């Protein structure tokens, strides 16, 4: 496989972490998962967003920056494949949704300093799912702080992701519509996705219904 760094992204409840784990095991790649449990602002954000959004997003950005720079070590880059379940750009995308204009301008200045220092993915996989399926998955996994997430918020997150991909057409991006798929329990769905990832080499956005 040509890709050293594969990033899996998706909305809340899309299954990106589950797919990342399966894909890393299939490709014998090093798995890098986002840590969110240690963010002291996260649960407070879902109760009172305006008061805790900036702290939450700053904490996440710092954690992602530190993790990527530690785990994507120079000495292993030509020996190891990586599967990561988030883009560093995720920090800026969520900030667009969660912060007011003044907070976002500050956040973007810091992001623009850090972003050039992070390694870029060779290919990005985005898992798209319809809103009803996302809500169902969120309820099913039972994280208490996520139970207040509304469809309009999920729609805003999806919109900023898709806009980001449209603005980065020089990036290899695969958008998998998994609204009707079950890549965890159905090997056929998972194997189809893996085949597309390993065989696809075209730059730009390419969409597939799973």
Q: Return the pLDDT at 78.
A: 65
108 or 49, greater pLDDT: 108
Angstrom CA distances, 143 to 13, 124, 189, stand at 11, 26, 26
| CA–CA dist 76, 56 (Å, integer) | 31
Neighbours of 195 (CB within 10 A): 10
| Domain parsing of the chain, residue ranges | 5-209
pLDDT of 44 higher than 90? no
Q: Return the pLDDT at 76.
A: 65
Domain 5-209, CATH: 3.40.50.300
| CA–CA dist 84, 34 (Å, integer) | 8
pLDDT of 153 higher than 80? yes
Q: CA 173, 177, 181 angle in degrees (round to 5)?
A: 135
Neighbours of 144 (CB within 10 A): 8
CB 129 within 8 A of CB 14: yes
Give the pair of three-digit tokens for residue 144: 């208490």
Per-residue pLDDT of 162-183, as tens digits, reads: 999 999 988 999 999 999 999 9
Return all residues near 133 (Cβ < 8 A) that are at least 6 apart.
13, 179
């Amino acid at each position: 496989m040509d890709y050293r760094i594969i990033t899996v992204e998706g909305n809340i409840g899309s299954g990106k972490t589950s797919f990342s784990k399966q894909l890393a095991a299939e490709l014998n790649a090093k798995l890098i998962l986002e840590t969110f449990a240690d963010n002291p602002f996260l649960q407070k954000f879902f109760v009172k967003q305006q008061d805790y959004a900036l702290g939450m997003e700053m904490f996440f950005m710092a954690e992602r920056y530190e993790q990527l720079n530690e785990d994507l070590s120079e000495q292993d880059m030509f020996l190891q494949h990586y599967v990561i379940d988030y883009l560093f750009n995720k920090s800026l995308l969520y900030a667009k949704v969660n912060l007011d204009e003044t907070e976002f301008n500050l956040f973007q200045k810091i992001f623009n300093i850090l972003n050039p220092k992070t390694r870029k993915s060779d290919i990005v996989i985005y898992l798209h799912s319809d809103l009803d399926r996302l809500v169902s998955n969120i309820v099913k996994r039972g994280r208490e702080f996520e139970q207040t997430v509304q469809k309009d918020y999920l729609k805003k997150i999806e919109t900023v992701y898709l806009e980001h991909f449209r603005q980065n057409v020089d990036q290899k991006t695969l958008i998998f519509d998994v609204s009707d798929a079950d890549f965890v329990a159905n090997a056929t769905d998972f194997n189809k996705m893996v085949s597309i990832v390993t065989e696809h080499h075209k730059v730009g956005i390419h969409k597939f219904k799973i």
